[in-house]
A and B are shown apart, each in its own frame.
Chain A
Amino acid sequence: MVCNATIEDYALRSIGIGEKLLPKSDITLCDQFVLIGSGIIWNLYFCIIALAFGFIFAILTAIIRFNKYIVLSKVMDIYVFIFRGSPLFIQFFCAYEVFVLLPKIGIDINLLFTTITVETSWLTKAWLGAVLVLFLNTTAYSSEIFYGALKSIPKHDIEAAEAFGLSTRRKYRKIIIPTMLRNSWSSYTNEAIFLFHATTLVFFSSFPAWRQSGDALYYASYFADKTFNPFVPYPIIAIYFISITLLIILIFKIINVYFTKHLPKERKMPIKLFKNMVR
């Protein structure tokens, strides 16, 4: 294969392994495929981390809002309003400027056997700062999805659980959270897809691509600038994104089957894509 050398040089270029310089002239199709594919690593990283933490915190915030704790619920409502009501692009800019203004200090965290110094300057790097913004953003959107699902849980389900004498913890674990997830899975799938798409914004807002290690769109626009021919890099990145979008749908469908395997056929909810877009 002619491509082997390129794969060796550029397959992990986006995380700083391999050739230092990007191809400047004589850009081949192979270069574009490999380098854009290497950028996808960043997109996946942003998406997976933000989604994983966002999922847990969204459930927590949704439950807090559902239970109407006086002060805490109000704070959560305002947080969700701010992050859902404003564009992610502006959020990135704001957050970056705030992170830049933070005093440059290291915070020592004592882990008994060793000490880690957490530096605030890490927040101005994409790997932490952008992930934080994406996490806050997706938590807000997911929280709204889950909160809506919580409100639509039939009252008698919860009452039945209480009548059985389930403790609050068991009531949530066995009844409320599973029902909530089942009812909102379709919307949550859409949220995951939108989040994955939103990861392309990171390097186009303020976050700098350190040593030209950027995401897929960073490289695609690099090639479009260098060759002045948009008809190759953008369709390539489109192929990558469509395939990963399909993969996300597949994974969420498998989880959906697992969630609903005990239900009779007419109560199984198929995932409706792009039906109710929340973003």
Chain B
Amino acid sequence: MFEYCADPDVLSTFEWFSCYLTNGKHLLFYKSFGLIILLLVITAPLAMLLGLLAAVAIKSKFLLLRLFSKAYANIVRGIPDIIFFLFIPITIDQLIEFSRHKIKCPEMVDSVWQGSDFIVCSAAKLPLNSDPQWIHDIYGFLLAVMSFAIVYGAFAANTFHGAMNSVPQSQIETGKSFGMSRKQLYISIIFPQMWRYALPGLSNLWMLLIKSTPLLFLLGIQDVVYWARELGGSKTSIFQYPHPDWRVWYFLSLLVFYLLLTKISELILNRISKKIYLPI
């Protein structure tokens, strides 16, 4: 980064740290914080959309849709989220590759599950082996986003379901007596009013979501935990910046980052909830 960094061995402590903390790997470490924010920003609306759809489906007229959405909302909450984070990406990945295998390589008749291997022809691989690294990264990140959205969608479905039921029944009946259709009831009565009832639940969900982002590490993504382990491990004198095991400091800095993130979110959410305070 700086010019005097060429030979770290002769630097004073302060200069050594200024060089150490701005080397290439550290810049990647700082970028991975952005990755977390990006994940939060993409996942939260997706999960809310999924939750809203499921909540409407729970009240649907069709039995099958009703059963499916109820099963989704309840089963996902009964199982630790980490199991889904391990299960969903590999499942989606295999489903896509399996169907691509069937379409692109119909001449291969062997089963794709052979013993302990999952074999698809190379044209069916996603992303292709020949693709550059950034496509692999984005694909992995998208799988992670989907897993988070599916898990938190189930939680949101429950929150929205409760919120929809809290909208005063008399208003819905009034709407019905005006001859409103189901669609009109949702759009002009239920949706506009349910937010204030859903806000406490959604705030909790946002906190839950923030606190589950380090699990990205388990999905093989180079996130903050990955870099903290990588950079903090002790470095021998072969490395440019040798140091003993500093992982505890790196993890403590992650702890502080998350504390800040949750504290700031809490302050903002408190402000919003004061604004739309419910006079009961």
Task: State the A residues within 8 Å of B (CB).
Answer: 25, 81-82, 84-91, 93-94, 97-98, 100-101, 197-198, 200-201, 204, 217, 220-221, 224, 226-231, 234, 237-238, 241-242, 245-246, 274-279
Q: Report the separation of the CA atoms of residues A276 and B199 in the bound assembly, to the nearest whole angstrom.
A: 11
Given contacts A86-B259, A89-B215, A204-B218, contact A234 B86 (CB under 8 A): yes
Chain A residues in 8 Å Cβ range of B81: 197
Q: Pick from B75, B78, B255: contact of A90, CB below 8 A.
A: B255
3 nearest CB pairs, A to B: A97-B248, A197-B80, A87-B211
User: A230–B258 contact, CB under 8 A?
Assistant: no
Determine the main DSSP class of A at the interface with B.
Answer: helix
User: A242–B90 contact, CB under 8 A?
Assistant: no
User: A238–B83 contact, CB under 8 A?
Assistant: yes
Given contacts A90-B251, A220-B83, contact A275 B118 (CB under 8 A): no
Q: Say whether B262 faces chain A, with CB atoms less than 8 Å apart.
A: yes
Nearest-neighbor residue (CB-CB) of B256 within chain A? A86
Within 8 A of A (CB), among B106-140: 113, 115-118
User: A276–B200 contact, CB under 8 A?
Assistant: yes
Nearest-neighbor residue (CB-CB) of B162 within chain A? A275
User: A97–B258 contact, CB under 8 A?
Assistant: no
User: B208–A277 contact, CB under 8 A?
Assistant: yes
Chain B residues in 8 Å Cβ range of A201: 82
Q: Report the separation of the CA atoms of residues A220 and B83 in the bound assembly, to the nearest whole angstrom.
A: 9
Q: Given A93-B247, A242-B75, 10 other A-B contacts at CB below 8 A?
A: A82-B259, A84-B262, A85-B263, A88-B211, A90-B251, A94-B251, A200-B83, A238-B79, A245-B78, A279-B208
Chain B residues in 8 Å Cβ range of A91: 255
Given contacts A85-B263, A97-B247, A98-B248, contact A231 B91 (CB under 8 A): yes
Chain B residues in 8 Å Cβ range of A234: 83, 86-87
Chain A residues in 8 Å Cβ range of B218: 204
Q: Closest CB of chain A to B218's CB: distance in Å?
A: 6
Q: Closest CB of chain B to A69's CB: distance in Å?
A: 24
Q: Closest CB of chain A to B43's CB: distance in Å?
A: 15
User: A85–B259 contact, CB under 8 A?
Assistant: yes
Chain B residues in 8 Å Cβ range of A84: 262
Nearest-neighbor residue (CB-CB) of B261 within chain A? A85
Q: Report the separation of the CA atoms of residues A200 and B218 in the bound assembly, to the nearest whole angstrom.
A: 12
Mind listing 23 A-B residue pairs with CB under 8 Å?
A81-B259, A82-B259, A85-B258, A86-B259, A86-B262, A87-B212, A87-B258, A93-B229, A93-B254, A94-B252, A94-B255, A101-B248, A197-B80, A198-B80, A200-B80, A204-B218, A228-B113, A237-B79, A241-B78, A274-B155, A276-B201, A276-B204, A279-B211
User: B200–A242 contact, CB under 8 A?
Assistant: no
Q: Say whether B231 faces chain A, with CB atoms less than 8 Å apart.
A: no
Q: Report the separation of the CA atoms of residues A256 and B208 in the bound assembly, to the nearest whole angstrom.
A: 26
Chain A residues in 8 Å Cβ range of B252: 94
Q: Report the separation of the CA atoms of residues A247 and B117 in the bound assembly, to the nearest whole angstrom.
A: 37
Nearest-neighbor residue (CB-CB) of B248 within chain A? A97
User: B225–A90 contact, CB under 8 A?
Assistant: yes
Q: Report the separation of the CA atoms of residues A201 and B87 in the bound assembly, to the nearest whole angstrom.
A: 15
Interface size on B, residues (CB 8 A): 49
Interface code B213-228, partner A: CB below 8 Å = 1, 0 otherwise? 1110110000001001
User: A204–B82 contact, CB under 8 A?
Assistant: yes
Q: Report the separation of the CA atoms of residues A133 and B113 in the bound assembly, to the nearest whole angstrom.
A: 40
Q: Say whether B46 faces chain A, with CB atoms less than 8 Å apart.
A: no
User: A277–B205 contact, CB under 8 A?
Assistant: yes
Nearest-neighbor residue (CB-CB) of B204 within chain A? A277
User: B77–A274 contact, CB under 8 A?
Assistant: yes
Chain A residues in 8 Å Cβ range of B214: 87, 89-90
Chain B residues in 8 Å Cβ range of A81: 259, 263
Chain A residues in 8 Å Cβ range of B158: 274
Residue among A93, A101, A245 with the highest chain B CB neighbour number at 10 A: A93
User: B83–A217 contact, CB under 8 A?
Assistant: yes
Nearest-neighbor residue (CB-CB) of B247 within chain A? A97
Given contacts A82-B259, A87-B213, contact A230 B83 (CB under 8 A): no
Chain B residues in 8 Å Cβ range of A245: 78
Q: Report the separation of the CA atoms of residues A255 and B66 in the bound assembly, to the nearest whole angstrom.
A: 32
Q: Report the separation of the CA atoms of residues A221 and B252 in the bound assembly, to the nearest whole angstrom.
A: 28
Q: Say whether B94 faces chain A, with CB atoms less than 8 Å apart.
A: yes
User: A226–B83 contact, CB under 8 A?
Assistant: no
User: A93–B225 contact, CB under 8 A?
Assistant: yes
Chain B residues in 8 Å Cβ range of A230: 86-87, 90-91, 94
Q: Closest CB of chain A to B51's CB: distance in Å?
A: 13
Q: Closest CB of chain A to B29's CB: distance in Å?
A: 15
User: B255–A278 contact, CB under 8 A?
Assistant: no
Q: Report the separation of the CA atoms of residues A197 and B155 in the bound assembly, to the nearest whole angstrom.
A: 15
Chain A residues in 8 Å Cβ range of B200: 276
Q: Report the separation of the CA atoms of residues A89 and B225 in the bound assembly, to the nearest whole angstrom.
A: 9
Given contacts A98-B248, A224-B86, A227-B116, contact A86 B80 (CB under 8 A): no
Within 8 A of A (CB), among B234-253: 245, 247-248, 251-252
Q: Report the separation of the CA atoms of residues A100 and B94 in the bound assembly, to the nearest whole angstrom.
A: 39
Q: Closest CB of chain B to A137's CB: distance in Å?
A: 11
